A and B are shown apart, each in its own frame.
Chain A
């Protein structure tokens, strides 16, 4: 995963936006619906209640003062209404009836109230409210009116002659609760739908972006191939594709130019060098004078050094550009060591072969020979005449080869040794025959085979370790 800072995921942003909008809409709709429903419900209750009270046939029997109230339930009133005024208290859903006199009994016409509703009657005697009836279930029949006795208020206090009819609004509130649940359920369903739609949209929007990302990630910087097709992406991403294609074309052009330059350098430098070496060599063969022959030999030697450096640079460039096709082969460490020692530019000291000479390496035999040749040449050139030691050990699917020689460098890791033109003495006036390309080539070739190379100095020995794929 890339460690660079980025502006967050486009997909998650999109999903969050869709779900957020849906949630906001649902909450707003819910609040409006709930508030409206509650207001409408309560308003309906109030209006209905008002209507009921207006039509309430409230019969209040006023007994004569000198006669005790009749026993038993009061008879149906003769039909005369006691005039009263009423006050409707919307907040408490109650109606306060103001009576001209304290009644002996009241009778409520069941038609005035809805059947089955709970009604609570209270009477005030001026200081306190007395419950007259509670949880009274109204009768269903017209002929069976609710009648109840009213206790006489205390005589010592003048009655206020008020009667309260309370109505239970629980059903309405239950209705509102059901509405709330409906709104919540509907909101959740809409939210789930929004998430699903969001995921779908996210996928629809991101699929071409991801396809483009995959196609771009397949582009090999060392060998950019075909341009990204415009048809892969929606038109909004077209400018990005055009830009990427322009960059790909530019990189391909630069690489092609670089390769042409490489080929031109190969031809333009090698051919004159070939002529120079040919002249020097033929002249040396024809020289009658030994001194002139030796001089021509030295000149040819310098031409060879020049040739080796050009060859090294060209090989380095070609490996870095991926222009070297790797052949598949298997060869043992021992064979490579013997070959490298046999081809060594100079054989000073001795070659000490340690463990693992029978281990096989897998890779391009020519390039593996080049690795060992450079390692051995390097060790001989800088090993103060002590030659070099080669050993190898198996490590999972790889073989770690170590080539060591005597060194006067301080202990530590020497990763810079793999940089082109690195020299141990750093003065660039050391061994004229060694330009410092050998170890750079070793690392590039090892990496081209999926391996790696490292160098360290410990206990007075410079040790280069190269990990290469193991052969069978």
Chain B
């Protein structure tokens, strides 16, 4: 799941980027409104964490511009101003959620999961595909009675495929949603990651759930 953090205060920006990366998200960062708009115009993020008070172009202006250009990515506004009027202005401008600084990280993560989940049209948190159960709030994955031990990146891959269950997801799309701009692209990075997840997801004897669609990508679900 790829996120964009647009925040002008560097310590907070760095903290969010590092922390969210550690949680398994692919995170890009922008320090100004203009830079943020450039990223948003270029990449399809799963969610955007957007500060309101930004140099050059403020958060609400970016938000309005996004909606005018049909960029319907979920946006979580982050701001030091938390009056009712400001919250209303933010939500009316097209924000999906609003979080005042300082915030509790678990709340930020929960709100992120919530806006991402809503984007994929799910109201429930848990995702079930055959005997696979994913619980995003606790980042746990179980196949039957077996709990899968996944790294954050592996978890994000499985989660992304699960949110697109039954669909073929290409390598480029996976790369775009799992890795940020700073990651160095390699021809077999995605293949290696999928292979690791498959080994953990399909121990010996279990029916295959993650399929390779040669020349097209990968698909999570029951065998066709």
Contact = CB atoms under 8 A, between A and B. Distances in A.
To the question of whether A and B form a pair in one complex, the answer is yes
Contacts of B106: 281
12 contacts: A267-B81, A270-B101, A272-B9, A272-B11, A272-B12, A275-B11, A278-B105, A281-B106, A282-B19, A282-B23, A318-B83, A325-B84
B53 interface: yes
A261 to B, nearest CB: 14
Given A279-B15, A282-B18, A282-B19, A274 B103 contact: yes
Interface of B: 9, 11-12, 14-16, 18-19, 22-23, 53, 78, 80-81, 83-85, 100-106, 108
Contacts of A276: 102
A327 B85 CA distance: 10
A307 interface: yes
B22 A270 contact: no
Interface in A253-284: 263, 266-267, 270-279, 281-282
B117 to A, nearest CB: 20
Nearest to B16: A278
A279 B80 contact: no
A246 interface: no
A275 B8 CA distance: 12
A271 B101 contact: yes
Contacts of B23: 282, 285
A369 to B, nearest CB: 13
A274 B12 contact: yes
A282 B81 contact: no
Given A274-B102, A274-B103, A267 B19 contact: no
A277 B102 CA distance: 7
Nearest to A272: B11
Contacts of A286: 19, 22
Contact of A327 (B11, B16, B84, B101): B84
Contacts of B108: 278
B9 A271 contact: yes
B53 A278 contact: no
A102 B11 CA distance: 143
A188 B198 CA distance: 117
A277 B84 contact: no
Contacts of A273: 101-102
A282 B109 CA distance: 11
Contacts of A366: 84
Contacts of A266: 80-81
Contacts of B16: 278
A372 to B, nearest CB: 18
A267 B53 contact: yes
A281 B104 contact: yes
A320 to B, nearest CB: 15
Contact of A282 (B80, B101, B102, B105): B105
Given A275-B9, A325-B83, A325-B85, A270 B18 contact: no
B136 to A, nearest CB: 15
A278 B12 contact: yes
